[in-house]
């Protein structure tokens, strides 16, 4: 009987070794650093610059799983903009390639996470092969409003309507002194 148990244990170990290993993939996006890091089984494989949401938009923080992938996709919300190698993770939010590579490394999007198309293709292939073992983690802070944007927002709050550029420079007509002219 002990030989039989030993045989079963050895057989189970051999069968376990013959099964393909599943890679644990963690895609981390740091909005503060504008950087995406890919870890496979705890080892960093890639680190790339990205563009997340610019001021006035948001890229949501949290932990997600890929919901669906699309090799070729065009935005239904933003004038059919190309989104190659899209990995959708929270409704309409996605990690995808972008041809506006000069903006990578700084906030520029409406909320998606933009990558260089070559990097997006590599990430897409890795996630597609391991979609059930992939986790997407988004951390960090979005961009701060510029002084001009803060002034515009404050004027809009005070008057109950958004301030336009003319009012930002010259003041609203109601605030001008009629004796100045």
d(CA 154, CA 120): 39
Q: State the chain's mean pLDDT as an integer.
A: 79
Q: Tell me the pLDDT band of 81, cut-offs 50, 70 and 90.
A: confident
Mean pLDDT of 128-142: 94
If phi > 0 it is left, if psi is from -120 to 50 it is alpha, else beta; for residue 55 that is beta
What CATH code would you report for 25-139?
2.40.440.10
* Degrees to nearest 5, angle at CA 168 with 164 and 172: 80
CB 87 within 8 A of CB 3: no
Q: What is the pTM of this model?
A: 0.68
User: Could you state, in order of their start, the residue ranges of all structural domains in the chain?
Assistant: 25-139, 147-173
Please give the order of strands across the beta sheet that includes 93-97: 68-70, 86-90, 93-97, 113-115
CA distances to 143, 144, 156 from 58, in Å: 9, 12, 20
Confidence of residue 147 (pLDDT cuts 50, 70, 90): low
Q: What is the per-residue pLDDT across 89-124, written as a single tens digit (0 to 9) for each?
A: 998 899 999 998 999 999 999 999 999 999 999 999
């Amino acid at each position: 009987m002990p030989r039989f148990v030993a045989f079963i244990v050895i057989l189970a170990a051999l069968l376990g070794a013959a099964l393909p290993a599943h890679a644990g993939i963690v895609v981390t996006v740091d909005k503060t650093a504008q950087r995406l890091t890919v870890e496979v089984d705890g080892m960093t494989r890639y680190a790339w610059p990205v563009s997340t949401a610019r001021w006035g938009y948001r890229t949501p923080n949290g932990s997600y799983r890929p919901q669906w992938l699309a090799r070729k996709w065009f935005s239904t919300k933003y004038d059919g903009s190309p989104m190659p190698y899209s990995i959708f993770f929270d409704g309409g939010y996605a990690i995808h390639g972008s041809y506006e590579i000069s903006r990578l490394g700084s906030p520029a999007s409406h909320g998606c996470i933009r990558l260089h198309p070559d990097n997006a293709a590599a990430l897409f292939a890795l996630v597609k092969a391991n979609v059930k073992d992939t986790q997407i983690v988004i951390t960090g802070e979005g961009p701060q409003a510029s002084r001009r944007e803060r002034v515009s927002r404050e004027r809009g709050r005070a008057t109950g309507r958004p301030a336009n550029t003319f009012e930002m420079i010259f003041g609203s007509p109601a605030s001008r002194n009629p004796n100045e002219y």
